[in-house]
Structure formats: C-alpha cells, structure tokens
Amino acid sequence: MIVTVTPNTAIDRTLFVPEFRLDKTIRSSRTVLGMGGKGTDASWVLGAIGAPNRALGFAAGLAGKRLQMMLEERGSETDFVWVEGETRVNIIIVADDGSGQSTFTMDTLKVTAAHQLQLKERFSASMADAKSVIIGGSPPGGVEPQLYADLVSEARRHAIPVILDASGETLRAALEFHPTIMKPNRDELLQITGKPVDSLPEIYAAARDVYARLGVQMVVTLGGDGALAVLAERTYRIPPLALEVVSTAGAGDAVLAGMAVSLAEGNPLEEGLRLGFAAAGAVMLTPATADCRKEDVDRLLEQVHLIPYSP
C-alpha cells in the first residue's frame, strides 16, 4: 500500500481559451475537471495504473466530497480528516494555441490543532500496511511546517521510505528528518542550499551536497530541460519526452507516483524513474490535471531515457 498525504486538498478546473485579457468576457472552448494537490494527484495517477494506495489529508465541503468520490472511483482508498471551510477549487487557464498556462489558486480550508492531531493519528495507523509514503504540497492556513516534519519522522521511525515534495519552511523543517527522496525544482533547490543552480554541474553539486549532509536523494525537475536524478551512488540526466503537450498540470506529481511504486515494491529506483516520467508524459497528453491513461504510460515507458551523468 502506498500512502499519500495532502494537507491542502484541491480539485482543478481547467479552462481552454483562445486568449486571456482583462475587462473582457472570455468563453472557453472546453472545460475539464481534474485532481489537485500533490499527494492526491499522485493517488489519482496510482489509481490509473492500478497501484494500491490510500489518500490522507484534510478535506471539507462539497468540493471535498467530490474529490473523495473521484479518487474512490479511480480505485484509491481515502481516509481524510474533515475540517471546516471548503476543499480548494483551483482554476487553470490554458491557451488553445499551446503558448502557455496559468493557475489561480486559493486557501479555503480551516484547520485546527485538533484536526492536525487527527491526521497524525490516522497517518500512524496507516503505517501498519504502508510500503512507501508521498507527502506533498503547501500547508493550508493554520498548519505549521512542523506537521510535515512530524509525518516524515513517523514514517522513518517505521523504516518506511518517504518521498517529499514541498517548499519553503515546510521543506526545510521536514528535511531534518531525512526523507528518502525529494523532488525540488531549481528554485526549491536554491532555497535549500543557497548555492547557484543555473547549470547542470551546479545543480549536481547542490544536490550532492544535500545528500552528503542529510542522506536525501533528489530528482530535480528542470521544466523543458527534463530532470537530473541525483541518487545515492549514481546520477542520471532524464531528457524530456517529445510530445504534443495538452497541459502540464500534475505531470510532476506523476513522477512522485512512479518512484513510490518502485520504493513500495523494493525495485531499483531506475524503474521508478522510468515509470514516473512515462506517467508524467501521459499526464501531459490529457487536458485534466494529473489525469492519464495506462496505455499511454505503457507506451511511453520505452521512450524514457536515463543517461548516466558526471560533471
């Protein structure tokens, strides 16, 4: 069982538009509903590829109920702590001509200290059958960064591998408890190390420094340049797949899902990287956030290349 944790759950509504301008009524050419929030995104991908998973986190209101239904219809288990307010509904605007996209998000959950204690208790109970854990996203209002650190610490206490995808103080607090893998982008890696990360050698040096200090392996996503996976004993450059991209929303969270499968099954991380980046490519072929088709994942697996890297 793969356990995912999303403190700030969300649904993404994606609108495809011919253009975006202020002071003008814009009619979308199509609208789709997808998952939102890093952990639940990963759960949705895991459900699509048939990997058993349980989604934890905070949820609220009608949007929260809809999110729960979407996950369960995809085959995920859910065990949310129900709070006040409303699960977020993010709006993603995608240009019809493929020139770009933007996300409008908000903070609508109302989480108390008692809710956070409930989440920790449910997370601890899930460790009985957990094989790997994904913790990700930004904390909602009222949630301190220490929550993520406590969750990482609890999983590691049970010797369960943890994949972390967070930023800012949340990331820094959790790193001290040695997650197995984290997936920063350039900006997040700069936040951690304070070192230049403009070139591949600089990214490699910064990620290797984190591993030397904290034992945390890194998959650094580089947008259109692919990714650099700095593992314990080896490093790979992963070029981007050649695709006609529909939407990139949720693609990075598919990488989390693939690595979690590898860790849960005790397979080499190379297999998880291939599965994760194939799933990310499959997500980019669909209009809804984090949505993918298993047949696309299977087809793209052979197109993912792990190129050994040394600076």
Query: Alpha-carbon dihedral of residues 12, 13, 17, 23, nearest 10 degrees?
Result: -100
**What's the whole-model pTM score?**
0.93
Residue type, 195: K
- Give the pLDDT score at 48: 95
88/64 Cα distance (integer angstroms): 8
Percent of the chain with pLDDT over 90: 76
CB 1 within 8 A of CB 129: yes
Which of 108, 92, 121, 91 lies closest to 8, judged by CA? Answer: 108
- Give the pLDDT score at 155: 97
The parts of the chain modelled with pLDDT lower than 50 are none
Write the pLDDT tens digit of every residue in 13-32: 989 998 888 888 888 888 99
Domains annotated for the chain, with CATH where assigned, are 2-20+28-308 (3.40.1190.20)
- Give the pLDDT score at 249: 87
CB 288 within 8 A of CB 12: yes
Which of 211, 219, 212, 217 lies closest to 185, judged by CA? Answer: 219
